[in-house]
Amino acid sequence: MSSRTGRSPVRSAAWRISLWATLAFMCGTIVVFIFVDRFVANDIQRRTDAWLSGEVEVLGDVAERTPNDSLYNRVVGEVAELASREVPEKSTSPEFQNDSVFFIQTSRNGALKLWVGAGDGQSHLQAIQAHEIDSATPISINVRGYSTPFRVASEPMNDGGRVYLGLSERDQRRVILNLRVRFFVLWLSLVLLGFAIVFFTSRRTLSHVRNITEAASHIGESDLKMRVPISSRNDEISQLGHTLNRMLDRIENSVHQLHTITDSLAHDLRSPLTAIRGKLETSLSSRDVEQAEPIVSAIEELDRLTDFLNKSLDVAEAKADALRLNPTTIDLDGLLRSIIDLYEPSLNDRGIRIRLHSAAPVYIVADEGLIHRMIANLFDNELKHLPASCSVDVHLQELDGEARLTLRDNGPGFDPEVRGHLFTKSVKGKHSSGHGLGLAFVDAVVRAHAGTVRAENTDAGGACIILSLPLAVRESKRMQPTHAG
């Protein structure tokens, strides 16, 4: 039962919970970021455009008012130069060369009149003219030789020419990129941290659940007095533990109640039986054989009644999973040999052959008395129901951590009428002589020991009873750590 504790964390519930939580967190934060990103980009754009529109107006004004003399180019050029120093989101790189801003003044025929910026301005002019800008609202223009487009605003002049002010979107994009990189790094570390936190907390929490499961699976196997461990915190898990323990209290109570009832029933029936049997027996010794006959058969009937009473109460208790066990280590191989030794003469007398196929000792932990009676029951069954010249094969082996006991005969098999409910109380075949508790008792004992029993007809038509009981845990296995953490 402790094998499942050693499995990999990837298959645990904690892993799944953390995975889903992280996925949800990732998606949520991505959506939020997309909104923020869009908002920031739009805002930068808006501010850039506002600056461009304002500046182009000022520059247009300056160009208008400056007298058209030899100093004209220098004055306007300087003003444009100054304006370009106030560029928003300006790159702070040391080798700042002002290729992110340009100023163009054209004459009426569209020829370049004044150029402020890097290079000769021809490619800028061509790009602008290709777009035919005619309003103060800035638009984006791709200029040959530049990887990022320029945002360009223009203003008409009184002389029919125009002034253009362009600002590269490079810096603006760098700001956005910066924002994205930082967000990504932060986001990744948050996701990883979140995953780790969720994983470890849920694993810790679930380990309490696992402890409860582990403990609960042992309760009932051994005794009902045990309780599941309760963690000190008053959380849902400890509430689960409390609930389970209260449930166990109630179960223990009803099982105790059942024991009290069966005990007092047994006591109340056995005391008179003892008295009757004793009286019959004492009167037997003072009589001759002729008179003894009815007394003897009365005693035999009484013994059968006692046996029936014992078995019914056992079956009743086992049906409620309340059979009281006193487990010791038993060698099934040795037990089978002595039971077969006991039954073989009777079987042989009826012309039935029996063979045991068992190679080595098979140890189980079980209540010795109950196991003895159960196996005796199986053999009683064969003895009562098998016709002459049949044979019984008894196989005992260890299989998948279980002791597998198989009784196979070549008789007529189980009655089809009763086959479906062989293990229920008081079911017996038409020609059966027993009180019908035999197999119900077998089932009860096997179930009480956490085993299984199946009954079927073989292909050849004989009856086959297959019984599995958990093997005794070897010491070396028990020493292994039960679970990590």
Partner 1 sequence: MVEDEHDIQAFLQQALSEAGYTVDLAPDGKAAENLAKNNKYDILIVDLGLPDQDGITLITRLRQLGVVAPVLILSARRSVDDRVRGLEQGGDDYLTKPFALAELLARLRNLLKRNAPQGSELTRLRVQDLELDLLRREATRSGQTLQLTPQEFVLLEYLCRNAGRVVTRSMILDKVWGMRIQPDTNVVDVHIYRLRGKVDGTGQAPLIRTLRGVGYVLQDR
Nearest distance in Å: CB 207, partner 1: 34
- Nearer CB in complex with partner 1: 314/402: 314
Are 214 and 5 in contact, with CB atoms under 8 Å apart?
yes
DSSP 381-438: HHHHHPPTT-EEEEEEEEETTEEEEEEEE-SS-S-TTTGGGTTSTT---TT--S-S-H
Nearest distance in Å: CB 329, partner 1: 15
- Nearer CB in complex with partner 1: 343/363: 343
DSSP 115-174: EESSS-SHHHHHHHHHHT--SSS-EEE--TT-SS-EEEEEEE-TTS-EEEEEEESHHHHH
Nearest distance in Å: CB 280, partner 1: 8
Nearest distance in Å: CB 376, partner 1: 4
Are 158 and 66 in contact, with CB atoms under 8 Å apart?
no
User: CA-CA distance, 439 to 422, in Å (whole number)?
Assistant: 7
User: CA-CA distance, 330 to 332, in Å (whole number)?
Assistant: 6
Nearest distance in Å: CB 428, partner 1: 12
Q: Which residues bind partner 1 (CB under 8 A)?
A: 262-263, 266-267, 270-279, 281-282, 284-285, 292-293, 295-300, 302-304, 306-307, 310, 313-314, 324, 326, 338-339, 341-343, 345-346, 349, 369, 372-373, 376, 379-380, 383-384, 434
Residue 445 phi/psi, 5-degree rounding, is -65, -45
C-alpha separations of 120 from 85, 116, 117, 125 in Å: 20, 9, 8, 10
Q: In this structure, what DSSP letter does residue 471 have?
A: B
Nearest distance in Å: CB 7, partner 1: 38
- Nearer CB in complex with partner 1: 186/261: 261
- Nearer CB in complex with partner 1: 324/454: 324
Nearest distance in Å: CB 248, partner 1: 21
- Nearer CB in complex with partner 1: 342/460: 342
Nearest distance in Å: CB 387, partner 1: 15
Are 227 and 245 in contact, with CB atoms under 8 Å apart?
yes
- Nearer CB in complex with partner 1: 237/362: 362
User: CA-CA distance, 44 to 21, in Å (whole number)?
Assistant: 34
Cα end-to-end distance, the chain, whole Å: 17
Residue 373, amino acid = R
Nearest distance in Å: CB 377, partner 1: 8
How do strand 327-331 and strand 363-367 relate by DSSP bridges?
Answer: antiparallel
In b/e form, how buried is each residue of 337-365, taking b as 16+ CB within 10 angstroms?
eebbeebeeebeeeebebebebeeebbbe
Nearest distance in Å: CB 421, partner 1: 21
Residue 145, amino acid = G
- Nearer CB in complex with partner 1: 448/469: 448
- Nearer CB in complex with partner 1: 235/341: 341
- Nearer CB in complex with partner 1: 286/480: 286
Q: Which residue has the tokens 């049949």?
A: 390
- Nearer CB in complex with partner 1: 236/300: 300
- Nearer CB in complex with partner 1: 63/440: 440
C-alpha separations of 249 from 116, 123, 227, 246, 468 in Å: 92, 91, 9, 5, 30
In b/e form, how buried is each residue of 225-245, taking b as 16+ CB within 10 angstroms?
ebbbebbeeeeebbebbeebb
- Nearer CB in complex with partner 1: 153/375: 375
Going by C-alpha positions, the residue among 116, 109, 153 that lies closest to residue 131 is: 153
Q: Where are the alpha helices (DSSP H) in 8-134?
A: 13-65, 72-85, 122-131
Nearest distance in Å: CB 211, partner 1: 28
Nearest distance in Å: CB 355, partner 1: 18
